Amino acid sequence: ILVNYDDMTAPCGSGNFGSAESYLSGGNFVKRARTALKRTDIDVHAILALAKNGDRTICKMLEEYADVFAVTLYNYATIYSPE
């Protein structure tokens, strides 16, 4: 499901940009965090530590994650149960 067609920072494994997978998969989230922070040493544990310490970039990314997740769930619910 496409959630943001013009976000070239969110590549998907299929070669598209801005799909739900681009934002919601763990691997892509880590890649995007590395890019946003300009650090190659970031992993999930570092992301969680940064979030716990209130890092603005990571907190903003996590807010975006929650928004995209909510929109994606809504889209799937609408597709599979339109009533």
Give per-residue pLDDT as tens, 27-39.
Answer: 989 999 999 999 9
C-alpha 83/C-alpha 56 separation (Å) is 39
pTM of the entire predicted model: 0.84
Give per-residue pLDDT as tens, 8-65.
Answer: 877 888 888 888 888 898 898 999 999 999 999 999 999 999 999 999 999 999 999 9
C-alpha 54/C-alpha 57 separation (Å) is 9
C-alpha 26/C-alpha 35 separation (Å) is 14
